[in-house]
Structure 1
Amino acid sequence: MPSSLIKDGWFGEDEVMWPGQKMSLKVEEVLYEGRSKFQDVLVFQSATYGRVLVLDGVIQVTEKDEMAYQEMIAHIPLFAHPKPESVLIVGGGDGGVLREVARHGCVRRITMCEIDEHVVEVSKRFLGDVTASSFNDDRLELLFEDAAKFVEGRRSVFDVVIVDSSDPVGPAESLYTSGFYAALRQSLKPGGIICTQGECQWLHLDLIAKVLGDCAMAFPTVDYAFTTIPTYPCGQIGFLICSLSAEPQMLREPKRPVSREMQAALRYYSPDVHRAAFVLPSFAERVVGPLRKNRPRLMPRDRIGYAAVALLSAACTLLLTHRG
């Protein structure tokens, strides 16, 4: 086991953004170790989490729990949109987000902009039956370039943009700037939605608040959700979600039903989980809540209709009883 991150048969993370803690996994076999133009790449077979992809010392994907991240970062924005046809994926070289986007039959074009071609090559080789299973989809245009430069000057092209980035250090640093979010806004069609990796509320509330504030200057609707995933810091990761629509509750309710076929294939996402993802613990809500731009209705539109029918029925009953 040649990796310097593996000692006595155990892999331990090496990450500056959560000092004082790290995730460790028991290693059965190192499958690949190398370096791209941008970062160190490691793949190993773990004892309990299947195959694991590590970039610059940080766990990106494990075979056991990857669906908790991939499904949520993809399906929350995709189902929040009534009919997404053009989707941009930023990053996501392991292929997991692409796999989930490809499940949506209404999507006609998928553009994927990944800066590191080597990550895609390694993922195809070692995660081909896990996450990297949809690179042959004929709707896909795969580009290897800096997404921050790619989106500049593009106007009204995408219905949904999903930013599956690593942490704001190294090759992903340019994806955490106000200029990048402003460019993403310009690239959206009317009613468009972006969803980005939103860090950990246990560790990075200050960073989350800053990015929410930056997005609030560019989008009429800004919200925050999260998912649970054992091998990410503190077992949790968040999503920053923005929309050009100013409709209240725009992002929190699925706009389309999940087919039985798709739901049977999914292992984490469901409409109920979609709604619940926006409910934060009190300590996080105190920080995030004032920065949300998504005024909730007193009652959802469908329930207002039901309530009106119920009130009318009760009034008719009272009237008939009085006449009797």
Structure 2
Amino acid sequence: MSEQRWIETLYQGYGQSFTVDKLLFEYKTDHQHLMIFENQQFGRVMVLDGVVQTTERDEFVYHEMLTHVPVIAHGNAKRVLIIGGGDGGILREVCRHSSVEHITQVEIDQSVIDMAKEHLPGHSDGAYDDPRANIVIGDGFDFVQQCQETFDVIISDSTDPMGPGEVLFTKDFYAGCQRCLNPGGVLVTQNGVAFMQTDEAANTAKRLTPLFKDWHFYSAAVPTYVGGIMAFAWASDSAQLRQQSLEVIRQRWQATGIKARFYTPELHLAAFSLPQYLLEAIGKA
């Protein structure tokens, strides 16, 4: 019997494949096609609509960088909003900050949360039971348009800009987030693999420019997001958040008592240094 292989369909003419050592779950929900399988290199792999979303082995890189960079840079985040993130990894990392008092997570698909809890329990690691967490099943775009609450940090952990995730890359979504931010707050979003999806970063830059006094991108290399560095968009009304000294970042990080696997204060600062091709694409060369 030949081995079963799954091939990612994110890019035309290029991709990655995984052996499917054991298919754990496959289901087409009202919103998307969800699959979870085991792979000898990356453990359990979650796929939505033909695109790898997260794996057991390398999820910590993405989740730590999308969470700790804004929370540590802010320095006093009490209220955090997560858009998407149904696998629970971002919620887990936010919950590790004892200084955060309230977390709202808006996920469009309850079945993603349920399946991740069952098949990827280490991602949330009990975070869905944290009393600070308020889980809202609904559309993230609609939420930020209608929400009357405000937040210190907003983290958009969306799928790529196709299907349900497409509206989370629009000017109106970013404007809604800006409206929901407290003064001195920060918005961060996943923004694709910069080398393969350079146009996405350029489009995000154009949409953030009229809305925020300070915007930029930072990056991390996540093995299963193939094609180079993963880019994260950063937007705030305060330029100071992006200009903290290494000493300040170190002090804040040490005060949390968190033991990370990827994030360090040194990486925090270095992540904002971008390659020339990306600086040119976003108009900051």
TM range (shorter): over 0.9
Q: Residues 245-324 of structure 1: matches in 2 within 5 Å? A: 245-247=238-240, 249-250=242-243, 255=249, 257-259=252-254, 262-264=257-259, 266-288=260-282, 290=284
Contact 1:77 1:251 in 2 (8 A): no
TM-score (norm 2): 0.93
Aligned to 1:161: 154
Q: Deviations over 1:264-290 (max 9, x none)?
A: 3x1100101111111112222222352
Aligned to 2:118: 125
Aligned to 2:180: 187
Aligned to 1:50: 43
Provide the aligned C-alpha RMSD in A: 2.0
Q: Deviations over 1:136-161 (max 9, x none)?
A: 01000000000111111435610000
Identity of aligned residues (%): 36
Which residue of 122, 147, 159 corresponds with 2:140? 147
- Mapped to 2, the partners of 1:249 and 1:89 lie a distance apart of 20
Q: Deviations over 1:56-76 (max 9, x none)?
A: 111111111111101001111
Aligned to 1:319: none
Change (3 A) 1:204 1:280: same
Q: Which has the larger radius of gyration?
A: 1
Q: Which moved more, 1:175-184 or 1:20-29?
A: 20-29
- Mapped to 2, the partners of 1:270 and 1:213 lie a distance apart of 30
Return 5+ residue gaps in structure 2 as ranges.
none
Count of aligned pairs between the two proteins: 283
Aligned residue type for 2:232: F
- Mapped to 2, the partners of 1:142 and 1:38 lie a distance apart of 18
Contact 1:44 1:51 in 2 (8 A): yes
Aligned residue type for 2:254: S
Contact 2:87 2:123 in 1 (8 A): no
Aligned residue type for 1:258: W
TM-score (norm 1): 0.82
Change (3 A) 1:74 1:261: closer
Change (3 A) 1:193 1:155: farther
Q: Deviations over 1:101-120 (max 9, x none)?
A: 00111100000000011100
1:124 counterpart SS class: helix
Aligned to 1:64: 57
1:198 counterpart SS class: strand
Q: Alpha-carbon deviation of 1:257?
A: 2.0
- Mapped to 2, the partners of 1:131 and 1:257 lie a distance apart of 24
- Mapped to 1, the partners of 2:99 and 2:219 lie a distance apart of 25
1:233 lines up with 2:226 in the alignment: yes
1:129 counterpart SS class: helix
Aligned residue type for 1:173: E
Change (3 A) 1:183 1:261: closer
Q: Residues 108-123 of structure 1: matches in 2 within 5 Å? A: 108-123=101-116
Contact 2:75 2:252 in 1 (8 A): no
